[in-house]
A and B are shown apart, each in its own frame.
Chain A
């Protein structure tokens, strides 16, 4: 009987080995391990055996059964793996086809620039202030040392709503408003970005609406060298460490002395090229020491307080930094334009 079991095992293992699909394997399983199979038959015949033989044969039968089962499982796994491989092969796709787009929007270029400027000055301890776009004549002009008959109003041809109200021509009124708010007894350290309006016909370099960022620092003992230092820090962080700045005298009614700031040309590094019109320098902003009349009108004693102010145009900065060739692009919102500046 034991010999018979050993023979069955050999026979079954051979058949398992020979089976070439799952169906054949199943036939082997049923043929040897099924209820009508030879091993079951052997076990059924155990009753005829002696008490000594019975456990020995029983154990052997179980061993044989286990061996066959194990071989069956192993072979089955091989078949399943093969089947899976087949299936995966059939499932192959063209990985070079485009993915399903995830649409992300992005900020307008002007917003990106204003945000960057804001963050730089916030880092230097400035706060961000806002003010009305329809401004009073007083704040837009008079509080900034531009009385009604001032010749500099030539430069400020404006959109009036009434005789006393107009579309602000610069963000400078926010300076006067903020100083007023602080009542002449606390330092002011702020920037104010915003929309401004001038009576210009729109063309490649003019826009009746544009953006300005204005800055103001008023405290005791503020020096002109501080203006130079702060603007230098800004320029280096915004435009790059390698850029140099220079200040030139200029004129604004609300500052005295007044300056214009140039940065060295990024293309030629100051040697002179077509980008900087052979000068080596590119004008970036205007500023100066706050005019004593402006301080006085806002309630700051110019004998005690001094300060500096500056203003710049994000459109101009964008045009210089990215080579945008027409200011109207900022306001036509051509999607192909907007999307160019959505990268970080």
Chain B
């Protein structure tokens, strides 16, 4: 809502408030002022001029040489506007004037002819092009009423006006009108509201003689009033009205249309003017449209209607889409003489439906959608008639032809001083509350501390105690509330185990050198189904897709965090950030339904991506590209920190390198995977050797063992044995480790692989694995014999299980 302060002053005394001080007060009391705009800048030497003569320039076809009387002198001005003519009153910027845009007016010679000033267009004075009346858009501004030659134009053209841009919350539709804003400002400044003149004289003829009103869709249209104004002269609206409309962001058209727009802004009540001679009948029938009926609106667009749309008809054909836009056929035009003026109350839901279906939002529909003030519907009509009589020479028919089932009653809300104070934490008195209600111009009955407030119908947003609580609080001033802390018992806050664990896992990742990324949950359907972990794949039938995505790019809920992380790696690589180690903790959305009927399961995953070099220290010739074992090391570190003993099994997963991928198992439960992304998939992201991991955090949350038990620090030395075994190259080291672990007995303290060899000195198809075994008994020193016995058992076991023999 754009509020012209010059206009607002017609209804409320703004005293000494500057636009800034007033804006600050309005914002603090309840309606955010989002901006202050000035119509123009401070202009000097810009006055009314009278064009005494206008002749063609001797050397230029498109220029005219004018003599303009500016009061104290007559200036010769060369003017290029096509519409300049003798006898006009125009705006003259004299030499020395500075127009908006730092445009300095100087004495000049145009094609040899001296020019002492400039005749201005509205745009040159700072008025926005889109609000300038169409007939004035390409030329100078010409006054149509009597003005005083030589006078400063600022006041005539409302150039000193400031416009407040109000950001209205949905509840404050009462401020979608100048009167509504006036009530708000009056409450803030403790002033009275001056109401506009709604009086007019009438002819003998009754409106009901000219037109009848029948409402069929009574729920959609509880009030319809039709007024008739005859003998109308179509011309320009008065300058002040056009100025205010332009300030409010509406382009003036002609007096009748401008008056309906003016009253719409003034009262917040949309009106519509039909040309009664073109209406097509003398009966108005308001009803739902027939399905598939077409209708041409004012903007000359053909609209296809349905029974969800409310229309104003002449009994046969629609003449307006109720509350949204009038029809082209009965539009007011230069030839109109009889105006049928509609003042109606249309149901917001019905209007919203039409707005939605036709993509048409107008000043009218916005107000109906939010609900207009029942008590202002008919009064807006009166106000428009007052203006039509005054500015369109109209003869007004007596009365109104109407259908009226509107509820005009005021709602009562009861408040008590005690309850107000309890809820606000204040100590305000009965007297304070009475003063606040008076400022709001709400009437009430007071019984000591109990107030029965009769909420005026302009404030449809106030229905319950809490609404009144807010009214009292905001007029009292939020600034005046104390700072207190709740008196209820304090209980300790704490993260849940799961939340603490999530933080811990993130810290481990970051300590391991990975940075956290956050990507979008909504992705393409293709990405949503790429690199899905086996444990998810078994649960999800198909990914969850939005009913109406804005774009395919964000259409589907992810089943894996990895595709978006690949996109991140790709993005970084394209910017020469090739070396990358990222992780993300996020949700995947798993539904086992083909047609979604219930919420999908939302499962936490931990995913990581490694690209480029893991370590680069060039002058010491240290380069380590990321590889499978880097990724695996990170996962192993994590599960170790979580106290879990996991195994890795060679796996084939769509989108992953078939030879370099492992599934991670805990107690035979698959909890994720690691490996190299399949080169074909990597290539589609412009990546090469890129490694990823993906773990089921839900499982980790449930199975971690983070309670450390104290283990005695061994006092006896451990004994170490190395063993190098030759076996078939296909035997996984993990299997051999498992066999050794089982065979070595209770004293085996640690076991790890320290060498892998294949090649010279070994038969083709064979490899050598070397293990280090450490034995320990915490209670005593082990003997050589004991260790030797275990060692023999190990040898026997690997031979029988894997065909592995001691390397010669």
By a beta-carbon cutoff of 8 Å, the part of chain A in contact with chain B is: 97-98, 100-101, 103-108, 110-111, 115, 118, 121-128, 130, 132-136, 149, 151-152, 154-155, 159-163, 165, 167, 187, 189, 195, 197, 199, 201, 208-209, 217, 219-226, 228-230, 232-233, 246-251, 256-260, 279, 289, 291-292, 306, 330-336, 338-339, 342
Contacts and interface: CB of A to CB of B under 8 A. Distances in A.
Contacts of B484: 223, 225-226, 228-229
B571 interface: yes
Nearest to A272: B20
Interface string B576-598: 01001111000101000000111
B544 A335 contact: no
B765 interface: no
Given A162-B597, A257-B470, A336-B577, A106 B481 contact: no
24 contacts: A106-B516, A111-B506, A125-B490, A126-B493, A132-B602, A133-B589, A159-B546, A160-B547, A165-B598, A167-B521, A195-B521, A199-B550, A201-B550, A219-B488, A222-B486, A224-B425, A224-B473, A226-B484, A229-B482, A249-B478, A292-B465, A333-B571, A335-B580, A338-B515
A221 B488 contact: yes
Contacts of B557: 134
Contact of A134 (B492, B506, B509, B600): B600
B447 interface: no
A9 B619 CA distance: 56
B735 interface: no
Most buried by A among B24, B568, B614: B568
B510 A105 contact: yes
A248 B348 contact: no
A335 B485 contact: no
B464 interface: yes
A111 B423 contact: no
Contact of B482 (A160, A225, A248, A330): A225
A339 B479 CA distance: 41
Nearest to A199: B550
Contact of B512 (A105, A127, A257): A105
A121 B622 CA distance: 46
Nearest to B168: A251
B546 A248 contact: no
A14 B260 CA distance: 127
A247 B520 contact: no
Contacts of A333: 517-519, 568, 571-572, 582
A127 B614 CA distance: 39
A152 B348 CA distance: 13
A146 to B, nearest CB: 10
B516 A247 contact: no
B518 A151 contact: no
Contact of A160 (B473, B546, B617): B546
Given A122-B494, A161-B544, A225-B481, A209 B506 contact: no
Those 4 A-B pairs whose CB atoms lie nearest each other, nearest first: A225-B425, A251-B169, A223-B425, A257-B470
Nearest to B28: A248
B757 to A, nearest CB: 28
Nearest to B620: A100
B333 interface: no
Contacts, number: 251
Contacts of B465: 292
Interface stretch (B230-238, B400-408, B495-503, B699-707): B495-503
A101 B474 contact: no
Interface in B21-40: 24, 27-32
B446 interface: no
Contact of B492 (A107, A125, A151, A334): A125
A128 B493 CA distance: 8
B27 A248 contact: yes
A182 to B, nearest CB: 13
B575 A128 contact: no
B170 A251 contact: yes
Contacts of A136: 599
Contacts of B587: 133, 195
Nearest to B577: A335
A115 B568 contact: no
A270 B108 CA distance: 48
A108 B514 CA distance: 11
Contacts of B511: 104-105
A289 B423 contact: yes
A232 B485 CA distance: 10
Contacts of B512: 105
Contact of B170 (A97, A122, A154, A223): A154
Contacts of A259: 478
B487 interface: yes
A189 B485 CA distance: 13
Given A219-B486, A256-B467, A333-B518, A101 B493 contact: no
Nearest to B622: A100
A204 B99 CA distance: 34
B338 to A, nearest CB: 37
A154 B521 CA distance: 24
Contacts of B519: 331, 333
B108 to A, nearest CB: 37
B170 A152 contact: yes
A107 B473 contact: no
A159 to B, nearest CB: 5
Contact of A342 (B425, B483, B515): B515
B426 interface: yes
A278 to B, nearest CB: 9
B513 to A, nearest CB: 4
A123 B713 CA distance: 38
Contacts of A163: 547
B258 to A, nearest CB: 29
B170 A151 contact: yes
Nearest to A252: B169
A160 B170 CA distance: 22
Given A121-B493, A134-B557, A134-B589, A105 B599 contact: no
Contacts of B71: none
Interface in B554-571: 554, 557, 568, 571
Contacts of A104: 510-511, 513
B369 interface: yes
A108 B517 contact: yes
Contacts of B509: 105
A108 B518 contact: yes
B348 A224 contact: no
A292 B169 contact: no
A159 B483 contact: no
B808 to A, nearest CB: 39
Given A225-B424, A228-B483, 11 more contacts: A122-B493, A124-B493, A134-B589, A223-B486, A224-B473, A228-B482, A228-B484, A246-B478, A249-B473, A250-B30, A256-B464
B481 A247 contact: yes
B469 interface: yes
B731 interface: no
Contacts of A331: 518-520
A151 B550 contact: no
Contacts of A126: 493
A47 B599 CA distance: 112
Contacts of A246: 28, 478-479
B171 interface: yes
B495 A122 contact: yes
Given A127-B493, A160-B547, A106 B520 contact: no
B320 interface: no
B172 interface: yes
B422 A223 contact: yes
Interface string B423-444: 1111000000000000000000
Contact of A334 (B486, B572, B589): B572
Contacts of A132: 599, 602
Contacts of B522: 159, 167, 197, 208-209
A219 B490 CA distance: 11
B349 interface: yes
